[in-house]
Structure 1
Amino acid sequence: MDIATIAGLILSLTAIITALIMDGGTPGELFAHPSAIILIFGGALGATAITAPLKIVLQLPKYIIQAFTTRKFDSRGTIDLLSKLADKARREGLLALEDDSKKIEDKFLQKGISMVVDGIDPEQVSAILETTVAQMRARHKQGMGFFTAAGAFAPTFGIIGTVMGLISVLKQLDNPGALGEAIAAAFLATLWGLLSSNLIFLPIAGKLKAKDEEEAHDRYMQMEGILAIQAGENPRIVRDKLNAYLSPSEAKSEEEAGDKKVPAGNAERAKA
């Protein structure tokens, strides 16, 4: 599970409920009129569905799961692997990587190394990998766009619910005892519109965007390593290039580890 998503949701709900109680209310009041909740979520999601392709609508559960789960990218493991492949390619040639490419579990990385082994032109390899990343990000953008649009529609439907509630209030002007509850019910729709937008829809869109950037960053690092291997660069140089994609603290520890992992012969050539 994505701890940041869970912790943020719990903190937000705690703050809202605490403020409600301090103002003399109870958590149960938020659910006192289910019609407001139905209007907000049904209306916002329905209106957004009109703007999106059916395939995106059907993938909503998948996007929500992605927002609450963590996909760990082993950057250090990738750097180690690409450095070893660079060393082997320099000693034995690119064809020697054929068996290694079949053992790679990451499909993107496997695809890149396989193209290198097949002798495809470097420009073609770069173009194909760039297109793969671009299409991946385009798919992610569709999910982000859906929740961003839902976040924009939700407050509007909250206002619609409030207007509908106020119409009902006006019909009860001859019954002053019921006006207070009717007005509260009307404004509950606005509250749910704002809550759903700023606590559910927009945060999910933001989380999906962050995960997209994280994965794209990892793919570009892999691409850099693949092209460096194809160019026959020194394993130490390959490692240094890929370390640039890490945070300063990660890069420092990775560089220290790299000093121990690069064969002595290659270390001498790196100094030359």
Structure 2
Amino acid sequence: MDILSLIGLLFGLIAILGGVIAKGSSLEALWNLAAFLIVIVGTLGATLVQTRVPVFIRALRMFPWVFRPPRFDPRDMIKRIVDWSHLSRKEGLLGLEDRSNNETDPFVRKGLQLLVDGAEPQALRQVLESDLDNSEAFDLQGARVFESMGIYSPTLGIIGAVMGLMAVMQNLAEPGRLGQGIASAFVATIYGVGLANLFFLPVSNKLKSIVQARISYQTMLLEGLVAIAEGENPRNIESKLNGFIQG
């Protein structure tokens, strides 16, 4: 569980709800069905128009990463790579076949299988780099779905506010309703700007950072597999890969 994401969302809610109360208003003033429809449904509609179905589905599958990000342990992976290196020097690359069959990570399994099949180092690098590039591009598209929502929602909030003010202008003959009507009009702006800056954009940036961390982890793995294919000394491999560890 990513505790920082939960704390961040909690602080965001406290900032908005606490601010409303501190300003002397009530929490009921934040609820407006028309504003909800304009901002939330409108933002979703605009996002769907620009997004391909596979990308939108990927974005939904990635969203839980904000609270439960996939775990990458580079130190453990380096130990495993060094172990594979020792094994390959002792038994040959075919000795890695059992390790390949027992792997659950498709990327690791594919890399080990290429080693077992005797792929040349350059061919191994090209195949795995192609997989990395395609995976990174697709996942970044998924993260940008939330970025798009963060771009559209403030604009739709302004549209909602303008529409609310239009309704107010139609009731100028009833001064008693003007204050409440103007307040309701600006609820849409709160929805749009608040959701963009406290949810959509932070979620997008969090997902992008997770994708980059995974790519760094898999790049380290790729370099290790290529080093094994080139027959490098296990100590040299370990020294080289330790450069990927941050913090």
Does TM, scored on the shorter chain, surpass 0.5?
yes
| CA shift digits 1:129-177 (9 cap, x unpaired) | 0011111111111112211111111111111111110111111100000
The aligned runs of 1:82-121 (5 Å cut-off) are: 82-121=81-120
> Aligned pair 1:23/2:35, yes or no?
no
**3-state secondary structure, aligned to 1:119:** coil
Aligned to 1:177: 176
Aligned to 2:127: 128
Aligned to 1:256: none
Aligned to 1:6: 6
| Structure showing greater Rg | 1
Structure 1 residue 6: Cα displacement: 1.1
Q: Which amino acid aligns with 1:176?
A: P
Q: Distance in 2 between matches of 1:60 and 1:86?
A: 37
Structure 1 residue 60: Cα displacement: 4.3
The aligned runs of 1:178-217 (5 Å cut-off) are: 178-217=177-216
What are structure 2's unaligned runs of at least 5 residues? none
The aligned runs of 1:38-49 (5 Å cut-off) are: 38-49=37-48
Aligned to 1:81: 80
Worse-matched range after superposition: 238-247 or 13-22: 13-22
Q: How many residues align?
A: 247
Q: Which amino acid aligns with 2:23?
A: D
Structure 1 residue 91: Cα displacement: 2.2
Aligned to 1:252: none
Q: Distance in 2 between matches of 1:167 and 1:9?
A: 33
Structure 1 pair 58–228 and aligned structure 2 pair: CA distance change class (3 A): closer
Aligned to 1:230: 229
Aligned to 1:65: 64
Q: Distance in 2 between matches of 1:168 and 1:105?
A: 59
Aligned to 2:33: 34
Q: Distance in 1 between matches of 2:58 and 2:149?
A: 15
Structure 1 pair 59–247 and aligned structure 2 pair: CA distance change class (3 A): closer
Q: Distance in 1 between matches of 2:232 and 2:54?
A: 43
What is the percent sequence identity of the aligned residues? 36
Q: TM-score, normalised by structure 2?
A: 0.95
Q: Which amino acid aligns with 1:35?
A: A
Structure 1 residue 59: Cα displacement: 4.0
Q: Distance in 2 between matches of 1:169 and 1:224?
A: 64
**3-state secondary structure, aligned to 1:12:** helix
Indicate conservation of the 8 Å contact 2:29/2:184, yes or no: no
| CA shift digits 1:215-250 (9 cap, x unpaired) | 0011001001101111111111111111111125xx
Q: Which amino acid aligns with 2:183?
A: A
Q: Which has the higher contact order (CA 8 A, sep 6+)?
A: 2
Aligned to 1:154: 153
Structure 1 pair 118–59 and aligned structure 2 pair: CA distance change class (3 A): closer
Structure 1 residue 104: Cα displacement: 2.2
